Amino acid sequence: MEWPRLGRVSYLNCLPLFYALETGQVKVPAKIIADHPAVLNKAFRQGELEVTAVSSLAYGKFAEEALVLPGLSISCYGKVGSVVLVSRVPVAELGGRPLSLTPYSATSVVLLRILLQRFYHVAPDLFIRPAGTPPDWGQPEALLAIGDEALQVVRAGRYPFVYDLGEEWRQLTGKPMVFALWVARRDFAAAYPEELAGIWQALQAARAWGKRHPGTLAAVGAQMLGVEPEFIEDYFTLLNYDLDWPHLEGLLTFYRLAHAEGLLLHPVALEIWGGEDEGNYRLQSA
Ligand SMILES: C=C(O[C@@H]1C=C(C(=O)O)C=C[C@H]1O)C(=O)O
């Protein structure tokens, strides 16, 4: 086959995992494709990506088609910086008022709806802004943004009330928030286990490279976003790429609440790829 296609989120949040791959410091046997999470979710389902980051919520919907790569995620424990609700008024006053949702996310939209229903007890008038429009399109009272857009919206400081959804989730559940998982198509894992192992190892090696070079990542990220390196260095300390027990607990809690609120139609049977020789590991959300 041609080189497998490896999807990454096109935001700074993936720079610590991908910089070493994209600059050739670590070789990866795959073709890298960068896009918004919502686009990657869809491309994976359509068979256009063999391995990719997908929104955790999206995985919950099509778990039977995908295996989760072990030890990898896009997560936070507490503040994340790049998944935010910003508002002109306190969230408790948003009832019936227009709240714009990013078109690029799956997890964060459901996370926000869980928070609105269970935590804030308020029902704003939610609408999804069209792709390609700026975050304040339609002059909403409040808006949900993710990724670099979220970083920029917060920095611009035009909204007095800022709710970091990683932090809000921690306050509600005490758990890490897993925004995205890395998944492989089942047919690809079955037919090309060595290739998949090669991609997984490259991701781990690239991430280790990133940990050893925080100054380089901060400088590169700063240039991409047009901000000072210290800002990016601080931001990267908020992001976490592990998938340990606390993450899995956070993920299962997220699936359970999404299901309870009618935002996910069924519980999720999670299956983590065991590598070339080990069996897969199965977990079931309540
Ligand atoms: C932490 C983030 O998490 C992201 C949020 C996602 C979602 O809401 O579906 C998916 C992937 C991540 O990019 C971010 O966007 O910065």
Model confidence band, residue 286 (pLDDT cutoffs 50, 70, 90): confident
CB distance 236 to ligand 1 below 6 Å: no
Whether 83 lines ligand 1, by a CB cut-off of 6 Å, is yes
Element (H, E) at 149: helix 147-156
244 CA to centre of ligand 1 in angstroms: 18
- Domains 5-75+177-284 and 83-173 equal at CATH topology level: yes
Q: From ligand 1's centre to the CA of 83, what distance in Å?
A: 7
Cβ of 80 less than 6 Å from ligand 1: yes
Q: Which CATH class is domain 83-173?
A: alpha beta
DSSP type of residue 129: P
What is the residue with the minimal CA distance to atom 14 of ligand 1?
A: 147
Q: Which residues of 81-101 are buried (b: 16+ CB within 10 A; e: fewer)?
A: bbbbbbbbeebeebeebebbb
Domain ranges of the chain: 5-75+177-284, 83-173
Residue 4 CA to ligand 1 centre (angstroms): 23
The tens digit of pLDDT for each residue in 82-114 reads 999 999 999 999 999 999 999 999 999 999 999
Cα torsion 40, 266, 240, 128: sign: positive
Residue 62: phi, psi to the nearest 5? -130, 35
DSSP secondary structure letters along 156-192: HT--SEEEEHHHHHHHHHSS-EEEEEEEEEHHHHHH-
Q: How many CB atoms lie within 10 A of CB 237?
A: 11
Q: Which CATH class is domain 5-75+177-284?
A: alpha beta
Query: Does residue 102 line the site of ligand 1, with CB under 6 A?
Result: no
Residue range 33-58, pLDDT digits in tens:
999 999 999 999 999 999 999 999 99
State the distance from the centre of ligand 1 to the C-alpha of 138, rounded, in angstroms: 23
Report d(CA 209, CA 160) in Å as an integer: 38
